[in-house]
Amino acid sequence: MGRAPCCDKANVKKGPWSPEEDAKLKAYIEKHGTGGNWIALPQKVGLRRCGKSCRLRWLNYLRPNIKHGGFTEEEDNIICSLYISIGSRWSIIAAQLPGRTDNDIKNYWNGRLKKRLLGRKRQNNTCRYSSSTSHDFNKVGTDEESQNATLSNSSLERLQLHIQLQTLQNPSSNYYTDPTLRPKMTTPLLSEKLAQSLQLLDENQHNLNSVSSNHLPKTDPGSVSLEYYARSIMAEASHIPEGEENYLGTPRMDDSAVSNNHNRQSFMKRNTGEFGYYNDHEAGNIARDDLMAWWPSDEGGEMKSELGFSWGSTTGNIFPADQGIFGGLGSSGSLCGITQYKS
DNA sequence: AACAGGTTCAACCGCTTTTAA
DNA sequence: TTTAAAAGCGGTTGAACCTGT
């Protein structure tokens, strides 16, 4: 038994909105507001539309200060970074881009940005994953369906796939020391940041083995790879002030934090998408449920894990977590190893 | 000019989350 | 605390438009 429909489907108009409908809805909301009840709104406005349809039309098209098209390079960078980091959380991504709607960003990503970033699915039977390290995906597996399924995964999964393929094709390859094995990022800025971060990791990779915490899993370097840096970059990039584009990979501390040698943690709130920082000594006060869950469980179960970033001069400066928070490692203030731990 | 295939984007669908009674 | 309704969200669809042959 399903739930009751939100409106009378038989008597509701569907399809594109006419200018008259737009004008009616816009005029009413501008004068009276939504009244906090979209379902009741169409009747008040005098529209034969579903309340959900009105809401969508208002939010995506009619409300003031909406921008359509003409995405800037900066916006591209933000979208790419966030998508790599958090996946298709369009509403959260949209929250970082004033005037943009989740629908717009989703369309832009699916229609253009993804293709630009990842290349076409296939071109002459190959996947143009990276211009410098293109792979023939037909070499991996023979089942057409499974290939398509793989190729339609998120960019993050594709990045992981890239790494896996590298490992499969060349088990002795070292992802950390051989730049040719790393996928290229779309934009020069992001690419540069990634390179910086990876370089810092190269220098500090040994720290991964020096964490003393029972909470940390053993870390397979192959699994602590690109996604962590991409995620780090995303979190960092969102806070880079204008004119300070190169600060990534160095500690972001305020004066007191520096003088007290306190490390800082970045976080992203689950509901608002808000980014923030707090110092180590505050970590225990953070409502863990507020934090973003970043990692889906392996087999499609609920998302349980959370991700913390940390950096600074100490190693293993982990949240006081007993169920699913991770160690970050730092050396010379760099963002480097970040370790996942699932509860 | 006609057609096919690709792209764009508004809108819908159905599921999940939140809210309020 | 429970439950139903509303809101929010992301995936998908399909019509309009674009581009190449």
- Each residue's pLDDT, cut to its tens digit, for chain A (343 residues) gives 445 566 777 778 888 999 999 999 989 988 888 888 888 888 888 888 988 899 999 999 998 888 887 888 888 878 877 776 677 888 888 888 888 998 999 888 888 887 776 553 333 322 222 222 222 222 223 333 333 333 334 444 445 434 443 444 444 444 434 444 443 333 344 444 444 444 443 443 333 333 222 222 223 232 333 344 444 444 444 443 433 322 222 222 222 222 222 333 333 333 333 333 444 344 444 333 333 322 222 322 222 222 223 222 222 222 222 222 222 222 222 222 222 222 2
Q: Which amino acid is at A253?
A: M
Q: What CATH architecture is A9-62?
A: Orthogonal Bundle (1.10)
**H/E run at residue A103:** helix A102-108
Q: How many angstroms separate the CA of A341 from the C1' of B5?
A: 46
Handedness of CA A97, A101, A105, A106 (dihedral sign): positive
Paired residues of A266 in beta bridges: A277, A309
Q: Is the CB of A108 under 7 A from strand C?
A: no
CA(A107)–C1'(C9) in Å?
Answer: 14
Any strand C atom closer than 7 Å to A91 CB: yes
| Angstrom distance (rounded) from CA A39 to CA A108 | 29
- What distances in angstroms separate CA A289 from CA A280, A283, A299, A306, one per listed residue? 18, 13, 22, 9
Residues in chain A: 343
Residues 157-196 (A) near nucleic chain C, CB < 7 A: none
Distance separating the N- and C-terminal Cα atoms of chain A: 35
pLDDT score, position A191: 42
How far, in Å, is the CA of A286 from the C1' of nucleotide C6? Answer: 30
- Could you say which architecture CATH assigns to the domain A73-181? Orthogonal Bundle (1.10)
Instruction: Report the distance separating Cα A292 and Cα A289, nearest Å.
Output: 8
- Is the Cβ–Cβ distance between A76 and A63 less than 8 Å? no
Which strand B nucleotides have any atom less than 7 A from protein CB atoms?
A: 7-15, 18
**A268 CA to B20 C1', in Å?**
28
Q: Give me the pLDDT at residue A284, please.
A: 40
CA–CA distance, A188 with A176 (Å, rounded to integer): 20
User: What's the pLDDT at A4?
Assistant: 56
* Domain ranges for chain A: 9-62, 73-181, 196-241+250-311
The single-letter code of the amino acid at A195 is A
Determine whether A84 is exposed, middle or buried from the number of CB atoms within 10 Å of its CB (0-12, 13-18, 19+). Answer: buried
Is there a shared CATH topology between the A9-62 domain and the A73-181 domain? yes
